[in-house]
Amino acid sequence: MTTLDIQKRLKELGFDPGELDGKSGSKTVKAIKAFQIANGLSADGRVGPNTSAALFPDDANETEDAVAPVAEPSAAEAWPKQVDCMRHYGGVGLFQTRLALPYPMRLAWDKGVVVRSISVHEKVHDSAARAFAKIASRYNEAQRKDMGLDLFGGSLNVRKMRGGSGYSMHSWGIAIDFDPDRNQLKWDKERSRLARPDAADFWSFWEEEGWVSLGRSRNFDWMHVQAARL
C-alpha cells in the first residue's frame, strides 16, 4: 500500500491527514499517531504491521516491507537560522506554552526553588519534551545533580544579545540554559562542566532534535542549547 492509501483510509476513519497528496508530512504523521492512540497502539507515527492491520483489517497479512513507512520530517530541517527567527517564530515573547519536566529542576540562582515546568515556544515544545525524556532515562538523579542537568538557568527571557543589537534566542523561548555557574559564557571546554565526556549523550539528545549547542559548535557558552541554526 502507498502513503496515499494510508491518507485516504485515515480520512475515512475521521483522522485528518491533511491534503491527500501521497506525501508523508507532519499532518499525516499526527493523524497516524491519533489513530494509534485511539486503537491502543504504540504512537510512533509509523504504519508498521500492527497499525496496518488496524487500518486495513482485510489486509492483515501484509508484511511490514509492503507498508509505506511514514516518518516525521527531521526537526533539524524545521529550525530556522538565527536571522530568520522573527519570521519563523513570530514576535518575541509570544506563542509560549508550558513544558512539564520529567524530573524536578532547581533554579540555578536560588537552588531552594524547585522548577517543574518551563516556558518554551509552542513550536519547540514537543521536540524539547523528547530531549528531556531521553535525559531523564539516560541519567539518574545523582548523575543529573553531579552534572548540573537539574540546574535551570533560564528559557524565555526577552532581551537583546549580549554586546549585540539582535534579540537573544531566549526572547522566543527557544533556548535553554543549564548550570550557568559551571558553564560560564566565555569558558571553553577545558573549564566547562558540560564539556566533559559524560555529557556527550546529553548533547546528542538535543542534536538528534536539531537543537544547536554553542559549546559543541563554537566552544563557548556550554550552558546553552537552542532551536535555531547558526
Residue 179 lies in domain: 78-226
Q: What is the mean pLDDT of residues 36-64?
A: 76
Boundary residue ending a domain (34, 50, 73)? 73
Angle at 55 between CA 54 and CA 56, to 5 degrees: 95
Check residue 63 and give its pLDDT: 37
Given a cut of 60, whether residue 8 has pLDDT beyond it is yes
Q: Are residues 60 and 124 in the same domain?
A: no
Q: Are residues 210 and 122 in the same domain?
A: yes
Q: What is the mean pLDDT of residues 127-139?
A: 95
Per the model's pLDDT, the better-predicted residue between 64 and 146 turns out to be: 146
What percent of the chain clears pLDDT 70, i.e. is strictly above it? 91
Average pLDDT of the chain to the nearest whole number: 89
Give me the sheet containing 96-107, strands edge to edge.
110-121, 96-107, 151-154, 175-178, 224-226, 212-213
User: What is the separation of C-alpha 83 from the centre of its chain, rounded to a whole number of angstroms?
Assistant: 20
> What is the CATH number for 64?
1.10.101
Boundary residue ending a domain (58, 73, 88)? 73
